[in-house]
Structure 1
Amino acid sequence: MRKIPAFFLLFFIITACSDDNEEAITKADYISEDPVNAAENAKDMDALEYIEFQHNEEQIIVDISKTPILHEFLRMHQHPQQAIRKMKLEKLELSLQDIYTLSFSCGNESCSYILLHQNQNKQASLVADMARFVSSYSSPDESKVALHFIRHGAETIPLSSLVVFDIVEWKPLSITKGETAPNILNYSWPFLSVEWLDEKNIAIAIPDLIEPNKESYDEWTMAEGNSVNTIVFQIETE
């Protein structure tokens, strides 16, 4: 499958908003036998209007025209129907809102991910590029969600990154650390766990490594009583 260059994915972020007020994602009141039948039956990209995904017992419809990220990706793809077949929709574990991650442009067990909300004013947002989604963690009041992604480095170490998203204001939030804390974000260190302490602080546990490389990671894995460091990050909401 043809890869989309990184600079083009940055362009996706800028063009992710639509001026239309119609919903980009809706729930259908029926179950289709083929989750992507509407796209499969289309003869070319101009005929593609929406994609249907089956999630548990729900049928979720994504309007491609209201999701510029997907529209542009499929328009550039040589085989859009095949690309759609490889997409996966996952619902985040939230009790108050229906929010989904959609993976696309997958290769070597890595994908790009967008965040989707049914609210017409909250347009699709690109949250990760060529990574693998691990889990989501909602803040105590469910106003924010932390998304954990990993990439496997050249030496197969699972390097992690965390994206914190305000799901009320619908925007990504900055994460800051203390001056003496190591830089573990942006796929530079493995994560063991992620935990919200309150609405403005989140703790990340990491293996106590000399360096985030395979030799150090293997030694830590084989050692008895593995030592763990916990770093607290502050969430910038302003």
Structure 2
Amino acid sequence: MHAPLFGLLEGAENALTELVHSLLLIAGGLLVGYVAGGVLAWAVGRYAFKQKDTYNFKAVGKPVGGAIVAVIVAALVLTGKGKPIGDGGDGKGTANTDPNSKSGPPVTPPDGKADPKAPPKIDIKPADVTLRVTVLGGEDVVNERFYQLDDDRTPKTFGDLKAAITERRKGEKGKVVVAILFPARNALPREHPAVTQVAKWAAEDAGLDVVFPAVK
């Protein structure tokens, strides 16, 4: 009940303010026209009619000039042509509560560089081919030959393993994943250099996903 009343009072206040503003503009136009009409009448009487006494000319020119300018100002104000283009806002605005909306286009990092804070893109599709790398330990390792690839039981050095994986990838289609396995006997810990160097090379240099399958 109070909201419509307040809205009505606010509207009446705005209308009254606009009316007073318009009247002041018209009064100003009347004053300017009055002065300009007197000056013009004096000039006409003095120079056009060669009269020393220009009282009668000014007596007519002042009110006529004031009336003309006042009418022009009133016409401009009342028809809206004398107002500034567009109505100003109240400065309050409305908050955007839509979490899915975007206030602007996404910001592109300069020089075309990727945003360092953005998470890296990963390939989460399942593997088409899994290369099984078994890491030996203890007395099963001879001459740094820690690795076996798939069902080939011949131990390989790190260099031999990289060459074998690279060669296998050439003949495979789809996503290739390296699965690192440990034998039941003499299993090395994951942090052992023989394990970490394979995982690091496969992920960073070869661009392959590396998994450690759970032991069941």
Same fold (TM over 0.5): no
**What is the TM-score of this pair, normalised by structure 2?**
0.16
Max Rg structure = 2
In proportion to residue count, which structure has more helix?
2
**What is the TM-score of this pair, normalised by structure 1?**
0.15
In proportion to residue count, which structure has more strand?
1
